[in-house]
């Protein structure tokens, strides 16, 4: 009787090191990591730890300025020595990638069905008709509704969750042996995040596919991954089987990740605080009705429908709901970036009758932090130009005064002062998702607005950075009596920061009230489902 040999790793990283050629900085330092066939491994750590760099080094997707040394073995073959033809077969064939920002990964001018079909025609040699039929099968497999209709849509016509499922369909189209999922749930609400990970786990089993899951969401890693590796400052500081790592963390970084909890409450409101924003019968619509329809009596369907809400000076109103419920549309409509109807009062002054041009000067006092920092930051501008842009438009400060204020604001948003000079000259693509989000926050914060509309500002951040950001926002609010309209799908963050919560579904506020009262005693079934997903033990 012969002894059974243990299976060889599907992926083996040995002494993997990544350096930035221009700055000579070591970004990933001597990493050793293996993944067995069919195994799900989570790579967790704070934003900027090097998780995505490590993942993208595997199929050699890093830019040329990143110098990679060490061994990358896929099924025993040295990927670091592959020719371009071998790499082309590897990418999308044996290795599929689910990117963090699906809006950026999809061609905005091409139907999503055609984009997935292109992968099949390239790697599987299918005819165009054969590829289109396979696309519909894939869309059903990733549980997209109405696959024929979805296939004919452009990316912007889909919700965030739908776009992410299209990316998953593209990644599994050629039945890869390894799936690299880079923060695939970042922009999704809690319910959709668990649904998506459940889908990925099911696909992994049905396709016999291994998975490298990059995340800062420890609950998802614990629920769906067999092993967890923890990264900090470019190194893997600890790795173990999931349950052992969570029950008996050894490294201080792991302990901090496991034990970091968002706690505390927002500061008290002043008894004499005045209203900052009031909406009455507020509705919003996408697009403008074409001229040929002006005389028809078919009304547009509102994306926001007859909303009433109020925010006081120094108050945070949390807006929660599932992806596609209308949260972001509400923020855009307040800034007149969507066609709207109803009454809007800012600092007790009626602004609903102002034209977009007349409203523009008020935007200094109402700043918006977008959900997707990669798309909201100009890729051709460096950090100094991005953060400084508002100052040059709205203030008469000198260049020296602007630079001083920029550096102070970068410090306020979590960037080390010793790195400021280097950061100011870098471009958005050179930062992690969490770092880009802090740059976007600095751009809005530098104008010291009276009201900030924060659209998922913590979605790209790990728990430690979320805690830092929540504390920063609390301190700024108490110091400046700044108000926040805080849009989020993370109820734990909303709870820590918001005085009141409004729950939105299908463009309608179905329930609102003081934060703790609403969380402890929700009236609506939909609110109870959101709370149960966020706080299973509440």
Same-domain check for residues 437 and 318 = no
Number of H helices, E strands in the chain: 22, 20
Give the model's confidence band at 362: pLDDT under 50 very low, under 70 low, under 90 confident, else very high. confident
Average pLDDT for residues 227-245, to the nearest whole number? 94
Same-domain check for residues 348 and 424 = no
Q: Is residue 311 assigned to a domain?
A: yes
For residue 313, give both structure tokens: 């000076």
Q: What percent of the chain clears pLDDT 90, i.e. is strictly above it?
A: 45
Same-domain check for residues 320 and 457 = yes
Give the model's confidence band at 294: pLDDT under 50 very low, under 70 low, under 90 confident, else very high. very low
Query: Can you tell me the distance from the alpha carbon of 181 to that of 465, in angstroms, rounded to the nearest whole number?
Result: 21
Residue 272 pLDDT exceeds 80: no
For residue 347, give both structure tokens: 């600092």
Residue 11 pLDDT exceeds 60: yes
Nearest to 211 by CA among 180, 170, 185, 243: 180
Same-domain check for residues 438 and 487 = no
Contacts of 349 (CB under 8 A, 6+ apart): none
Q: What is the pLDDT of residue 536?
A: 62
Same-domain check for residues 434 and 463 = no
For residue 487, give both structure tokens: 């849009």
Query: Can you tell me the distance from the alpha carbon of 446 to that of 180, in angstroms, rounded to the nearest whole number?
Result: 37
Same-domain check for residues 238 and 304 = no
Give the model's confidence band at 373: pLDDT under 50 very low, under 70 low, under 90 confident, else very high. confident
Nearest to 509 by CA among 287, 330, 323, 315: 330
Q: What is the pLDDT of residue 213?
A: 95
**CA separation (Å) from 270 to 107, 254, 273, 512, 524?**
49, 40, 5, 21, 30
Average pLDDT for residues 507-514, to the nearest whole number? 94
Residue 210 pLDDT exceeds 50: yes
Q: Mean pLDDT across the chain, nearest whole number?
A: 87
Q: Is residue 376 assigned to a domain?
A: no
Least reliable range by pLDDT among 45-49, 53-57, 398-402, 519-523: 45-49
Vertex 249: Cα angle to 246 and 255 (nearest 5): 95
Q: Which residues of 193-223 are buried (b: 16+ CB within 10 A; e: fewer)?
A: bbbbbebbbebbeebebbbbbbbbbbebbbe
Query: Can you tell me the distance from the alpha carbon of 520 to that of 523, in angstroms, rounded to the nearest whole number?
Result: 10
Higher confidence at residue 506 or residue 296? 506
Q: What is the pLDDT of residue 5?
A: 62
Same-domain check for residues 435 and 487 = no
Give the model's confidence band at 291: pLDDT under 50 very low, under 70 low, under 90 confident, else very high. very low
Nearest to 212 by CA among 53, 102, 104, 30: 53
Same-domain check for residues 393 and 341 = no
- Residue 453's SS3 state is strand
Query: Can you tell me the distance from the alpha carbon of 464 to that of 262, in angstroms, rounded to the nearest whole number?
Result: 9
Q: Strand runs (DSSP E) across 75-117, as ranges?
A: 77-78, 95-98
pLDDT in tens, 427-439: 998 887 678 888 9
Q: Is residue 268 assigned to a domain?
A: no
Q: Is residue 360 assigned to a domain?
A: yes
Please name the helix (run of DSSP H) or strand (run of DSSP E) that holds residue 182, with its range, or none. Answer: strand 178-182
Q: Is residue 50 assigned to a domain?
A: yes
Domain containing 355: what range?
Answer: 274-287+300-365+450-538
Query: Can you tell me the distance from the alpha carbon of 507 to that of 332, in angstroms, rounded to the nearest whole number?
Result: 13
Boundary of a domain, candidates 433, 448, 463: 448
pLDDT in tens, 299-318: 678 889 999 999 999 999 99
Residue 13 pLDDT exceeds 90: yes
Nearest to 277 by CA among 321, 226, 317, 239: 317
Boundary of a domain, candidates 391, 421, 448: 448
For residue 38, give both structure tokens: 């069919």
pLDDT in tens, 18-50: 998 888 889 999 999 999 999 999 999 887 789
Top mean-pLDDT range of 367-381, 384-398, 410-424, 455-469:
384-398
User: What is the length of the chain?
Assistant: 538
Residue 341 pLDDT exceeds 60: yes
The answer to whether the beta carbons of residues 507 and 305 sit under 8 Å apart is yes
* CATH number of the domain encompassing residue 208: 3.40.50.300
Phi/psi class of residue 433: alpha, beta or left (left: φ > 0; alpha: ψ in -120 to 50)? alpha
Same-domain check for residues 311 and 246 = no
Q: Is residue 371 assigned to a domain?
A: no
- First-to-last alpha carbon distance for the chain, in angstroms, is 55
The answer to whether the beta carbons of residues 257 and 44 sit under 8 Å apart is yes
**β-strands 316-320, 25-35: how paired?**
unpaired
Same-domain check for residues 218 and 240 = yes
Same-domain check for residues 324 and 443 = no
Query: Can you tell me the distance from the alpha carbon of 216 to that of 137, in angstroms, rounded to the nearest whole number?
Result: 32
- Residue 204's SS3 state is helix
Same-domain check for residues 15 and 155 = yes
Q: What is the pLDDT of residue 102?
A: 76
pLDDT in tens, 446-460: 998 999 999 988 876
Q: Is residue 5 assigned to a domain?
A: no
Boundary of a domain, candidates 402, 419, 448: 448
Which residue's entry shows tokens 């989570």? Answer: 42
Q: What is the pLDDT of residue 416?
A: 87
Give the model's confidence band at 382: pLDDT under 50 very low, under 70 low, under 90 confident, else very high. very high
For residue 306, give both structure tokens: 């007859």
Top mean-pLDDT range of 94-103, 119-128, 259-268, 274-283:
274-283
Residue 364 pLDDT exceeds 60: yes
Q: What percent of the chain clears pLDDT 70, i.e. is strictly above it?
A: 95
How many structural domains are present in the chain? 3
Query: Can you tell me the distance from the alpha carbon of 303 to that of 345, in angstroms, rounded to the nearest whole number?
Result: 20
């Amino acid at each position: 009787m012969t002894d059974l040999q243990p299976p060889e790793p599907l992926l083996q990283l040995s002494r993997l090191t990544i350096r930035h050629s221009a700055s000579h900085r070591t970004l990933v330092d001597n990493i050793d990591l293996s993944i067995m066939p069919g195994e799900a491994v989570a790579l967790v750590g704070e934003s900027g730890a090097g998780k995505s760099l490590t993942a993208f080094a595997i199929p050699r997707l890093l830019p040329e300025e990143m110098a990679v040394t060490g061994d990358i073995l896929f099924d025993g073959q040295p990927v670091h020595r592959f020719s371009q033809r071998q790499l082309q077969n590897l990418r999308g064939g044996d290795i599929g990638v689910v990117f963090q920002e699906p809006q950026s990964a999809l061609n905005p001018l091409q139907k999503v069905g055609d984009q997935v079909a292109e992968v099949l025609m390239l790697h599987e040699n299918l005819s165009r008709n054969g590829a289109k039929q396979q696309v519909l099968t894939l869309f059903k497999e990733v549980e997209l509704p109405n696959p024929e209709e979805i296939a004919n849509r452009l990316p912007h016509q889909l919700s965030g969750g739908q776009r992410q499922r299209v990316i998953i369909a593209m990644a599994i189209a050629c039945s890869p042996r390894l799936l690299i999922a880079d923060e695939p749930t970042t922009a999704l609400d809690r319910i959709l995040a668990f649904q998506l990970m459940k889908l990925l786990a099911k696909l992994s089993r049905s396709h016999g596919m291994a998975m490298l899951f990059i995340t800062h969401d420890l609950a998802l890693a614990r629920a769906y991954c067999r092993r967890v590796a923890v990264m900090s400052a470019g190194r893997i500081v600890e790795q173990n089987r999931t349950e052992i790592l969570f029950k008996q963390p050894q490294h201080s970084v792991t302990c901090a990740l496991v034990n970091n909890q968002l706690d505390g409450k927002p500061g008290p409101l002043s008894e004499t605080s005045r209203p900052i924003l009031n909406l009455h019968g507020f509705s919003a619509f996408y697009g403008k009705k074409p001229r040929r329809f002006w005389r028809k009596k078919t009304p547009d369907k509102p994306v926001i429908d007859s909303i009433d809400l109020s925010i006081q000076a120094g108050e945070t109103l949390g807006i929660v709901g599932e992806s596609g419920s209308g949260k972001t549309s509400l923020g855009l409509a307040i800034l007149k970036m969507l066609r709207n109807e109803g009454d809007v009062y800012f600092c007790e002054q009626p602004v609903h009758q102002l034209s977009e041009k007349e409203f523009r000067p008020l935007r200094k006092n109402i700043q918006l932090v977008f959900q997707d920092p990669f798309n909201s930051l100009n890729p051709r501008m460096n950090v100094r130009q991005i953060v400084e842009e508002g100052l040059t438009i709205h203030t008469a400060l000198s260049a020296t005064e602007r630079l001083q204020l920029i550096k102070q604001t970068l410090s306020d948003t979590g960037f080390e002062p010793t790195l400021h000079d280097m950061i100011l000259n870098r471009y958005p693509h050179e930062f992690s998702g969490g770092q880009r989000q802090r740059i976007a926050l600095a751009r809005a914060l530098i104008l010291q607005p009276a009201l900030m509309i924060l659209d998922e500002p913590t979605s790209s951040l790990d728990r430690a950075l979320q805690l830092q950001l929540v504390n920063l926002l609390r301190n700024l609010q108490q110091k400046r009596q700044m108000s926040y309209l805080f849009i989020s799908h993370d109820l734990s963050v909303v709870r820590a920061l918001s005085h009141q919560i409004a729950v939105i579904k299908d463009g309608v506020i179905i329930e609102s009230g003081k934060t703790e009262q609403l969380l402890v005693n929700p009236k609506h079934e939909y609110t109870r489902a959101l709370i149960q997903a966020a706080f299973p033990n509440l």
